[in-house]
């Protein structure tokens, strides 16, 4: 039944929305919308040392910017509130008590030093270090003795011996784990706060989550959660672990690698379009089949299914992202492109914060002229450098072009034609150029290239008459005169 489909994105509020997190959020969102189910955002904040105060707001802001909305969460509430783990401690405690009472969990008083010593022994014996089970069967008397020493226990889950744990995964099929390779893991820390694996299991069950869709880095947590589901008598949801996201060197992306832009907010700040980012992220480990790559959010919703989530790692190809954003910018309204790019000219000090109507129009035309070339809004700054320079440098190639025989005649005629223009605008400038062709007989490259190089110092650039119009009469005539 479609309305039993309930999925969630469960970020820990530790920082900005990472590309990997955004991918999990998006896959859950697309799945929910495709199935007519519910999408929940739950804040998993039990690892308090890692919490960052404004992270929840920032994560939500980035999701909203991407156009991902949710049905239940900390801000909009919902039938399973609260949606923040730290407000659900009573609930967790009830289930911890249940496990303790049933002998499926136990208090462990081992100190970090004792645990390390134990691991060291195991390593020496060539074994994989794992909790030994020392405190599995403490008597009340032993417990009291530890307490008298001031020791605070953790609660560990008693991992059943010799079992095959099966994670039924919509992407990977049945993935099996040997329980003997998993030590009795901590479910409640000494401060009484549950660990991620425990809280997530209780939350997913009590919130009626039908599908747990997340990144492959959580696949190793899945058997722990499956054991908890079984011990608590809960029905296990369907898991779906999307592939890892690798960098271009095919290494796992590290959040600390500053050579790649990895946070959604950074893309927003660089003037990327949310539609492009969504499109790009959707294709990280999911394939719609067929050739079409540019897809709107609605097309993605329509096409999304878990059986097309791929097992093979996805590669975060920044060139593809630039290409995709460029495709979206080319198709976007001029107004929107200006809105994305103009702040970058202002931030770079090229344009004042407060602009006259005339300046606004000039900036508008300048940005639109470069629309096709921009991979993101910030690109406008390097692309338009020559519009903000008083002097231009002519490199060797430019000098060679300006040294051609016909150049003085062409530039002189052009300058004369420009002088007689009443309106210094593109159509008139174009005509002035045509008139040079008529009067001198030079045409094509012989005509346009020296003019382009003379006014811009470059052989390539946007539409020439428009560029000249935006450079303005004073700049253009000064540059031409300087060469004659
Ligand atoms: N809080 C976990 C994280 O941020 C969620 C993992 C999950 O989806 O189960 O990675």
Chain segment 390-401, per-residue pLDDT in tens: 888 999 999 999
Do 128 and 267 have their domain in common?
Answer: no
Q: Assess if residue 229 is contained within a domain.
A: yes
Ligand 1 mean position to 279 CA, how many Å? 23
Ligand 1 mean position to 8 CA, how many Å? 10
Q: Assess if residue 83 is contained within a domain.
A: no
* Atom nearest to 214 CA in ligand 1: 8
In a mutational test of the pocket of ligand 1, which residue from 40, 200, 220, 222 has the highest number of ligand atoms less than 8 Å from its CB? 200
pLDDT at site 3: 66
CA atoms within 13 A on the CB side of 308: 17
**What CATH number does residue 429 fall under?**
1.10.10.350
The pair phi, psi for residue 326, each rounded to 5°, is -60, -40
Chain segment 57-79, per-residue pLDDT in tens: 999 999 999 999 999 999 999 99
The mean predicted confidence, pLDDT, of the chain is 96
Annotated binding site for ATP: 255
Q: Assess if residue 186 is contained within a domain.
A: yes
Query: Above pLDDT 90, what percent of the chain?
Result: 95
Question: CB of 211 closer than 6 A to ligand 1?
Answer: no
**Does the structure show a pLDDT above 80 at 176?**
yes
Q: Residue 288: helix, strand or coil by DSSP?
A: coil
Q: 179-183, 251-255, 464-468: which range is least confident on average? A: 251-255
Query: Above pLDDT 70, what percent of the chain?
Result: 99
Question: CB of 44 closer than 6 A to ligand 1?
Answer: yes
* Atom nearest to 221 CA in ligand 1: 9
**What CATH number does residue 347 fall under?**
1.10.8
Do 64 and 182 have their domain in common?
Answer: no
**What CATH number does residue 141 fall under?**
3.40.50.620
Do 144 and 219 have their domain in common?
Answer: yes
pLDDT at site 233: 98
Q: Assess if residue 320 is contained within a domain.
A: no
pLDDT at site 17: 97
- The region that residue 30 occupies, defined by phi over 0 for left and psi between -120 and 50 for alpha, beta otherwise, is alpha
Q: Assess if residue 374 is contained within a domain.
A: yes
Alpha carbon 25 to its chain's center:
10
Of 194, 226, 242, the last residue of a domain is 242
CA distances in angstroms from 342 to 17, 362, 365, 463, listed in the order given: 25, 11, 11, 20
**CA dist., res. 24 & res. 250, Å (int):** 20
Question: CB of 12 closer than 6 A to ligand 1?
Answer: yes
Of 384, 407, 427, the last residue of a domain is 384
Q: Assess if residue 324 is contained within a domain.
A: no
Residue linked to tokens 């289930």: 95
Burial class (CB in 10 A: 0-12, 13-18, 19+), 262: buried
Question: CB of 42 closer than 6 A to ligand 1?
Answer: no
Q: Is the peptide bond before 133 cis (omega within 30 degrees of 0)?
A: no
In a mutational test of the pocket of ligand 1, which residue from 39, 51, 218 has the highest number of ligand atoms less than 8 Å from its CB? 218
Residue 256 — pLDDT band, cuts 50, 70, 90?
confident
Radius of gyration of the chain (CA): 32
* Atom nearest to 196 CA in ligand 1: 1
Question: CB of 218 closer than 6 A to ligand 1?
Answer: yes
**CA dist., res. 100 & res. 104, Å (int):** 6
Q: Which residue has its alpha carbon closest to ligand 1 atom 4?
A: 11
Ligand 1 mean position to 165 CA, how many Å? 21
Q: Which domain holds residue 467?
A: 396-481
Question: CB of 40 closer than 6 A to ligand 1?
Answer: no
Ligand 1 mean position to 419 CA, how many Å? 67
Do 294 and 369 have their domain in common?
Answer: no
The stretch 228-245 carries a mean pLDDT of 97
pLDDT at site 391: 86
**Does the structure show a pLDDT above 80 at 193?**
yes
The stretch 36-50 carries a mean pLDDT of 96
The stretch 100-128 carries a mean pLDDT of 96
Q: Assess if residue 390 is contained within a domain.
A: no
Do 107 and 20 have their domain in common?
Answer: no
* Atom nearest to 8 CA in ligand 1: 8
Do 250 and 238 have their domain in common?
Answer: no
Do 475 and 358 have their domain in common?
Answer: no
Question: CB of 468 closer than 6 A to ligand 1?
Answer: no
**CA dist., res. 279 & res. 300, Å (int):** 8
Annotated binding site: 255
**CA dist., res. 473 & res. 365, Å (int):** 16
Residue 290 — pLDDT band, cuts 50, 70, 90?
confident
Catalytic residue among 151, 255, 350, 373: 255
Do 156 and 211 have their domain in common?
Answer: yes
Question: CB of 11 closer than 6 A to ligand 1?
Answer: yes
Ligand 1 mean position to 97 CA, how many Å? 24
Question: CB of 41 closer than 6 A to ligand 1?
Answer: no
Do 153 and 184 have their domain in common?
Answer: yes
Of 257, 284, 315, the last residue of a domain is 315
Domain count, the chain: 4
pLDDT at site 1: 45
**Does the structure show a pLDDT above 90 at 227?**
yes
Do 228 and 134 have their domain in common?
Answer: yes
CA atoms within 13 A on the CB side of 469: 24
Question: CB of 237 closer than 6 A to ligand 1?
Answer: no
Q: Assess if residue 366 is contained within a domain.
A: yes
The stretch 213-228 carries a mean pLDDT of 97
Ligand 1 mean position to 16 CA, how many Å? 14
pLDDT at site 390: 85
In a mutational test of the pocket of ligand 1, which residue from 11, 20, 25, 63 has the highest number of ligand atoms less than 8 Å from its CB? 11
Do 303 and 273 have their domain in common?
Answer: yes
In a mutational test of the pocket of ligand 1, which residue from 214, 215, 245 has the highest number of ligand atoms less than 8 Å from its CB? 214
Do 230 and 302 have their domain in common?
Answer: no
**Does the structure show a pLDDT above 60 at 2?**
no
The pair phi, psi for residue 459, each rounded to 5°, is -90, -15
Annotation says 371 is catalytic: no
């Amino acid at each position: 039944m479609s309305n039993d489909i309930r999925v969630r994105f469960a970020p820990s509020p530790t920082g900005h929305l990472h590309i990997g997190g955004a991918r999990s959020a998006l896959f859950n969102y697309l799945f929910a919308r495709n199935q007519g189910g519910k999408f929940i955002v739950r804040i998993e904040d039990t690892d308090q040392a890692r919490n960052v105060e404004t992270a929840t707001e920032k994560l939500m802001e980035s999701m909203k910017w991407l156009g991902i909305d949710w049905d239940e969460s900390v801000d909009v509430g919902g039938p399973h509130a609260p949606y923040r783990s730290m407000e659900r401690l009573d609930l967790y405690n009830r289930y911890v008590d249940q496990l303790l009472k049933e002998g499926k969990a136990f208090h462990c008083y081992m100190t970090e030093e004792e645990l390390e010593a134990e691991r060291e022994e195991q390593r020496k014996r060539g074994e994989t270090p794992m909790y030994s089970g020392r405190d599995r069967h403490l008597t009340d008397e032993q417990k009291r003795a530890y307490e008298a020493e001031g020791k605070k226990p953790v609660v560990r889950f008693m991992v059943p011996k010799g079992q095959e744990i099966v994670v039924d995964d919509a992407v990977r099929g049945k993935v099996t784990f040997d329980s003997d390779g998993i030590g009795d893991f901590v479910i409640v820390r000494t401060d009484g706060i549950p660990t991620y694996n425990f809280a997530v299991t209780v939350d997913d069950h009590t919130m009626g989550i039908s599908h747990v869709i997340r990144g492959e880095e959580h696949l190793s947590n899945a058997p722990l959660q499956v054991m908890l589901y079984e011990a608590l008598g809960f029905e296990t949801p369907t898991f779906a672990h999307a592939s890892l996201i690798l960098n271009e060197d095919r290494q796992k992306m590290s959040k600390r690698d500053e050579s790649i832009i990895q946070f959604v907010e950074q893309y927003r700040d660089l003037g990327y379009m949310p539609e492009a980012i969504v499109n790009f992220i959707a294709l990280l480990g999911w394939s719609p089949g067929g050739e079409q790559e540019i897809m709107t959010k609605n097309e993605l919703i329509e096409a999304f299914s878990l059986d097309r989530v791929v097992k093979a790692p996805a590669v975060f190809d920044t060139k593809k992202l630039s290409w995709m954003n460029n495709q979206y910018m080319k198709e976007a309204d001029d107004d929107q492109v200006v809105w994305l790019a103009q702040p970058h000219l202002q931030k770079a000090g090229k344009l004042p914060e407060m602009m006259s109507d005339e300046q606004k129009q000039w900036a508008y035309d300048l940005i639109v002229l470069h629309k096709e070339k921009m991979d993101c809004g910030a690109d406008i700054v390097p692309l338009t450098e020559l519009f903000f320079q008083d002097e231009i440098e002519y490199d060797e190639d430019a000098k060679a072009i300006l040294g051609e025989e016909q150049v003085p005649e062409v530039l002189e005629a052009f300058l004369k034609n420009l002088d007689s223009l009443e309106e210094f605008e593109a159509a008139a400038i174009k005509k002035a150029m045509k008139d040079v062709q008529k009067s001198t007989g030079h045409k094509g490259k012989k005509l346009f290239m020296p003019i382009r190089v003379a006014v811009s110092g470059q052989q390539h650039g946007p539409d020439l008459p428009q560029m000249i119009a935006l450079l303005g009469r004073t700049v253009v005539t000064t540059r031409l005169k300087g060469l004659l």
